[in-house]
Each structure stands twice: as structure tokens, then as C-alpha cells.
Structure 1
Amino acid sequence: MNLPEDHQEALLQKYLDGQCSPDEIATLYSWLLTSDAHRPLLAVMQQDYERIMQERSSVPEEISDRIETRLLQSIQITKEKVIPMRVPFRLTWKIAAAVALLVATGVTMLYTLRKPAGPVTAPPLMAEVMPGTNKAVLTLADGSVVTLDSAGKQVIQQGGTLVKQQNGRLQYAAAGGNAAIGYNTLRVPRGGQFTIVLPDGTQAWLNSASSLRYPTAFSGGNRTVEMEGQGYFEVKQNAKQPFIVKVNSMEVQVLGTSFDIMAYPDEEAVKTTLLTGAVKVRWGKAEKLLHPGEQAAVDNSTGEMSVRATDVAGVTAWKTGFFEFDNANINVIMRQLARWYDIEIDTRNADNRLFGGRINRNLPLSEMLKLLETGGAKFNLEGRRLTVIR
């Protein structure tokens, strides 16, 4: 089917806006079937099309919103490499974002276009596994525990220190000079994330399954905190009092900068990524000075530290609400999903296919798995246990 260029753009725009009639969707599908270059776009539209054809109605707003999310953040899977698609015609920015997906090589996918022959029996409903939210547990120096969540608003008086919670953010007011100093611990569980503003004004974003131990006031010659898991820091500059993050036996020292540390015990390496400023990473007797755009990695099996250039936007995508994969294998991805959705995983039958792309972290788990399955991966979810079939 040959569609004029302006008609191509109009149909795609109407589809994204949720204004296509069933006949227009059928026309769009017929055109997409005419070229292999259209297949990634077709894959994420297929199931929604069949549902709409059964109902013979306009596209509901909630369905069109979900379709747009899937189009704009969908990924494709490759066993060899990820190649950007060539867009054969001029597109507006919104349509280009939907069509310029990642196309896979070495993966066979089948596409069909059909109307249902008769009534379809809906499969049994399973409880949806929702994405993580803002939640944490604050353990004060005296051992008392405060539960924090995305809706909470409270003020905590701790000696001379005032702590305010506003939704998913915890903020410390500077303590007076005579205030006693205690050490608090902020723990973010699996399925959570949280932000804290420390007494010196430094901001820290904690990812799932992470913790930060810190004093209620910084005194002496440095500002030292201890972290587990993953955190992103924007350090308040103070040349007279360096900021130090301790992660196991590693130290990251800064004056004023922004950086990310990923130190989960089940990952292959502890990684420190610098966005701005400069940091020193110390591991045993080794010491490396990082410049913006560089990442220091300490291999958990060999103990060796290396430095390389990296994609800082990809490393910090979690902070802005995305998963970003760059030729990542299934084990790497499943570990991220396990922490964010608070699920158990089994990857014993996983193959060596690689993933590339960016997906919104706010999608339900079922939508996330549908995107991963477009390239041939298969999963079985029972309750909160996810098994990779292939």
C-alpha cells in the first residue's frame, strides 16, 4: 500500500492522539505491513489494535495514553548488536520519537493482521505488579524508627536538629553549634526510592535497596557518609571540608560536584560515575582522579580498578524515571527489575540476547515484560516470582 507522505504523518499523529477510527487503524496497519522498517512500530501496536477491533469503538483515552508511552519508550532486542533505524521520510518530533525505535538484528519476529473470528474468552486476571514508589525507613540515632512514604508530611525534632519530610523528600535544617551530633540511617527498600537534603545542603537520591548513614551535623575536617546500593549526589561546595562517601573499603572524595555511585553486592563491579567537578576514588592503595564523563569501576571478583569514559545520562537515567540499557544482558536487566518491582527472579534458562533502549520506570511490570518480549524473550510470572523461560 502506498500512502502519501502527508497521509502517513496524519495517521500516525491521530494514532498517538487517540483519535483514529477502527477503519483508519486498519489502514495504518496495512501500510505498516508493507516494509520491514515499520516492524518495530507494528510490534508494540498489535495487541492494542486487536482489542479495539473487538470493541469496534474509538480509541479510549487511557489506551491511547498507554500506546503513546509504549511507542515513545519502547525497546527492541538483539542477540548481536543494536542498530538505529533509518527513518525514510520527514517526521514531526513526536512522530519521529515514536518511529525512531531501536531495530534488532539476528531476531526473527512474526506479525499478523487479523480480525477476531468470534468472542474471545478473557484469561484469568492476575494481580498487577506495580512499579516502585517514594518510600523509606529512617532510623534515628536513639534507635527509634520513622516510616516515610510518598504522601507523608511531618516534622521530626531530633535534639537541636529539625528534620522535615515533604512527600518523597527529607530535609535537614542546620543544627546549632552546641547541638549534639548523632548518626541516622535512611534505608530505601526494594520497590522504593527517596531523596534527602543533608545538613550541609548536599542532596542525595537513593535508588531501591539502598541506604545512607550520615551525621545530623557535619563537624571537623570532612563530611563523611556511608552508603550501600546506589545513590546520586549533588554536593554543596566547601573547600575546607571535603565530602567523602564510604562504600565498603572504597572512598570517594569530593569538594563540590555531582556523581553517581552504584555498589550493589550482586553486581559485577562498584561503579563511580562523575557528571561535574572532580572526585578522587580510593580503593586500597590505588587512587584515581575522575573527570566529568568518566567512570571508575572496581571489579568485585578481582579487586582491580579501571577508569573509562561512559554515558552519564544512561548511568543516571534511574534518577529521572527511566531504565536505560546499552547492550545489557538479561541478568543485568532482571537484577534492576527485581529491585524496582520487589520481585524474585530466576534466570537459569536465559540466553545471551542483548537489550538496548530506554523505558519509563513507571510502567506496570506486565507492560515492561511485553516490551522485552517483542524480540523473543519469554517470561512466566507467578505472584511476585518471575522466571525467564528464554
Structure 2
Amino acid sequence: MDDIIKFLENPKFVQWVNKPSKKLDRYWNDYIENHESEKEQITLARTYILSLQSEPLLTTKETSKQIYFAIERKIEKLEIRNKRKSFILTFSKFAAIGLIFFVLGIGVTQYIKSPHLDVFEHFGKNDNNYPYSTLTLSDGKNVRIPDKESEIVYNNQGQIVINKRDTVQSGEAILENDLNQLFVPYGKSASIKLPDGTVAHLNAGSSLIYPSKFEGSTRVVSLLGEGYFDVVHNPDMPFIVQTKEISVEVLGTKFDVAAYPGDNIVETVLVEGKVKMIKHGFQFSSKEYILSPNQRAAFDINSKETTISEVDVNNYISWQKGFLLFETQDLNRIFRKVERYYNINIRYADPNLGLLRISGKLELREDKESVLNVLAKTASVEIVKLNETEYAIK
């Protein structure tokens, strides 16, 4: 059963079944060819998704017994060899349970808040060592921003003003979904005032994909890296930040989302208001987590577990004010932030040094040598400069 569930929880698999494309067909056909032993599980997973997709919506007045037999009858009609029949009957019970949860409004049978995969493909094209922040508009225009810190504002005339001096006309969209991207490489930072007035601060090594105009029932942006959001209140149009693993939904609030590639933890920290965090995927037991101010939700990518804790939010959001605060935090985490901010690499002579915990404050706007000297003294270690971008800790 676990082998089937892994496909049901795979967004790419669910999209392939529901909305196949040439690219997805090619991917999954190659997968099946190279994983012949999983062909039966894939067939059964497809059967489950398609059976629910075509099943008429049942009302809450129908009993779970009726729901079970409705799905059981549907599955028994399939032309499956007799030796699989006992397995199918067991599987149909899971299908019945899944549909019951759907009827109750939990929605485990839908593709939950999943980001469009083609949107996230944009992220892989960015080079974090690129010397400029880049604003890519929906008409394909690329605007390079050389400043270390950038401020981008959409004004009331529909123009884009960069660092209060350069004005860019957004141009006519050529993409169906009219998306723009702000990319901030290592060594840079940026803030952007979106068309609805929401302000997003992007940390080094981050990307934000957003529409030129928010339309419909939600305001959706996609994030890779770290962003601090000050969302304009609009009860009729919730603001949603999508990462590859989770979505964070709000009406109007201040919060931080960190979802860097390579990090095992995706975290959301709430400063003001209230947010709802939802894990992506097609699952039997998806949970929504409601955060209150001064709480942190940490989603572990490996274990798929989420933990909620009370925190000092200043330790998580101070970066957007130009400094880092940390309290009994390990060097690994601190140096990752420093590496991104200054676009440098730091090696450990002994990996155990990265487990040392320190507390303090770093003024990031100082030169990197001064910051590294402060860290070395605080942690009682030696930091040796190898070249302009490489350092070693001893």
C-alpha cells in the first residue's frame, strides 16, 4: 500500500493523470520502463485517481456504507486479473475512506494547493553567482539591477519604478498567465511593492514569481528562497505564497517564509495576523496548520512532519533590516545565511565545528571581513581567507 501512496502524494504523477502533457508522458513512460516492478502499483494509483475523478459528487447525507459500495462496484468493473482481486478489494477500502474525507470537506482527494509545475521550472534557470538582480517581465523583457539592495515599486499608473530613479513600462503580456519574476542572486537583496500594494522583501538567493495584476478569487505568488511579506488586507481575495512543498494563505498580515533549495526545513514565521499553512500533494491525511503571532511552523522535507513552536520572531526576520539576530544557534545555520548574503563559500576543517552554538547580533551591512572576524571571536574558532570568495574554519 505504501508503494501506491507514494504515487498518490506525488504532484507530478497526479498532474500526469489529470492533465497529461507530452513532457509528463515522456517522463512517466521512461519511469515505467526503468521501474518495471512498479508498473502494477502505478496502474492501481491511476485507477484510484480516475475513479474519483469520474465519480459524481456524493452528499453528506449518504452513509459511509453507501459510499464504500459505490466505489467497490466501480473498481470491480475494471478488467484486472483474478490474482489481483484481493488486493483491489483492500485498496477499495482506502478509496472509500478517501471519498468520505472528501465529502466531509477535508479534500484529501484533490490536488491540494499544488503549484503549477511549469511555474517552478523557471527557478532552475537562475545562477546565484550572477552579478545582477534581474526583473523578467511577462513580455520577455529582462531588466538588470546592479545595486546591492534594490527597491521595485508598481505605481498607480502601472509603471515599474526601480530604486526611485528608473521607470520601466511593463509592456503587453505574451504569456497566458502573465507572470513576472524577480530574481535576487547571492550577495544581493531586494524589496518589491506588488500591484496590490503588498510588499515582499527577498533575501539573497531568492526568486519571486507573481502576476502583473491580481485577478480572480486569490492573489498567488510563488517563492524560492526566503521572503518577508507585509500583505495588504483583502478579505475577498486571500494572498497565497506557494513554495514547492507548502502554501501559506493569509488575508492581511506580516510573515516570513524560508524555502531554500538544499535545506531540509521549510519554515513559516508569523509576526502579525493569522496564516494557514498547507502541505502540497494528493494525500489521505493532509493537515492545515493555523499559526498565531510569534509562532513558527517547520516542515521537514524528509520526514514530511510539521512542528509548531513559540519563537522570538526577530531572530527570523531581522535579515530584512540588515542584521542577523541569533540565540543559541548552530554555526551551520548562521554561516549558510552569511554565505548567501556575501556570496562566499565557507568550509569546515572539522564538520563538528558546524554544530557549535552561539548567540549574538551581526550587522550585515558591514564588510564581510569584519563580520567573519566577529563570528570567529564569538565561536572561538579561526577563519582563514583562501581567496576572495573562499574561507576555511579551523
Q: Deviations over 1:283-326 (max 9, x none)?
A: 14121000011111001221111111111111111011101222
C-alpha separation between the residues in 1 aligned to 2:314 and 2:371? 21
Q: Deviations over 1:32-85 (max 9, x none)?
A: xxxxxxxxxxxxxxxxxxxxxxxxxxxxxxxxxxxxxxxxxxxxxxxxxxxxxx
Q: CA deviation at 1:378?
A: 0.9
Q: Is the 8 A contact 1:170 1:195 kept in 2?
A: no
Q: Is the 8 A contact 2:323 2:363 kept in 1?
A: yes
Q: CA deviation at 1:331?
A: 1.3
User: Does the alignment pair 1:330 with 2:328?
Assistant: no
Q: CA deviation at 1:156?
A: 10
User: Does the alignment pair 1:319 with 2:320?
Assistant: yes
**1:150 to 1:267, Cα distance in 2 relative to 1, 3 A:** same
Q: CA deviation at 1:201?
A: 0.4
C-alpha separation between the residues in 2 aligned to 1:157 and 1:373? 42
Q: CA deviation at 1:389?
A: 3.3
Percent of aligned pairs sharing the same letter: 31
Q: CA deviation at 1:153?
A: 10
Q: Is the 8 A contact 1:136 1:148 kept in 2?
A: yes
1:388 match: 392
Q: Deviations over 1:111-166 (max 9, x none)?
A: xxxxxxxxxxxxxxxxxxxxx9x9621011122210124399999999x8321112
C-alpha separation between the residues in 2 aligned to 1:348 and 1:280? 42
Higher helix share: 2
Q: CA deviation at 1:384?
A: 3.3
- Cα RMSD between the aligned structures? 3.3
2:160 match: 163
1:302 match: 303
- 5+ residue gaps, structure 2: 1-128, 281-285
**1:342 to 1:287, Cα distance in 2 relative to 1, 3 A:** same
Q: Deviations over 1:4-55 (max 9, x none)?
A: xxxxxxxxxxxxxxxxxxxxxxxxxxxxxxxxxxxxxxxxxxxxxxxxxxxx
Q: CA deviation at 1:252?
A: 0.3
Q: Deviations over 1:256-309 (max 9, x none)?
A: 000000111232311100011100000141210000111110012211111111
Letter in 2 for 1:388: A
C-alpha separation between the residues in 2 aligned to 1:170 and 1:324? 35
TM-score (norm 1): 0.59
C-alpha separation between the residues in 2 aligned to 1:168 and 1:368? 31
Q: How many residues align?
A: 253
1:205 match: 201
- 5+ residue gaps, structure 1: 1-131
2:340 match: 339
C-alpha separation between the residues in 2 aligned to 1:157 and 1:311? 32
SS at match of 1:316: helix
Letter in 2 for 1:341: Y
Q: Deviations over 1:238-257 (max 9, x none)?
A: 10000000010311000000
Q: Is the 8 A contact 1:295 1:309 kept in 2?
A: yes
2:368 match: 365
Q: Is the 8 A contact 1:277 1:291 kept in 2?
A: yes
Q: CA deviation at 1:337?
A: 1.2
Of 250-259 and 325-334, more deviation after overlay is shown by 325-334
C-alpha separation between the residues in 2 aligned to 1:286 and 1:244? 17
**1:169 to 1:378, Cα distance in 2 relative to 1, 3 A:** farther
TM-score (norm 2): 0.59
C-alpha separation between the residues in 2 aligned to 1:170 and 1:329? 43
C-alpha separation between the residues in 2 aligned to 1:252 and 1:209? 20
Q: Is the 8 A contact 1:233 1:258 kept in 2?
A: yes
Q: Deviations over 1:212-259 (max 9, x none)?
A: 000000000000000010000010111000000001031100000000
Of 220-229 and 148-157, more deviation after overlay is shown by 148-157
Q: Which has the higher contact order (CA 8 A, sep 6+)?
A: 1
Letter in 1 for 2:262: D
**1:335 to 1:163, Cα distance in 2 relative to 1, 3 A:** same
Matches within 5 A, 1:144-155: 144-150=141-147
2:79 match: none
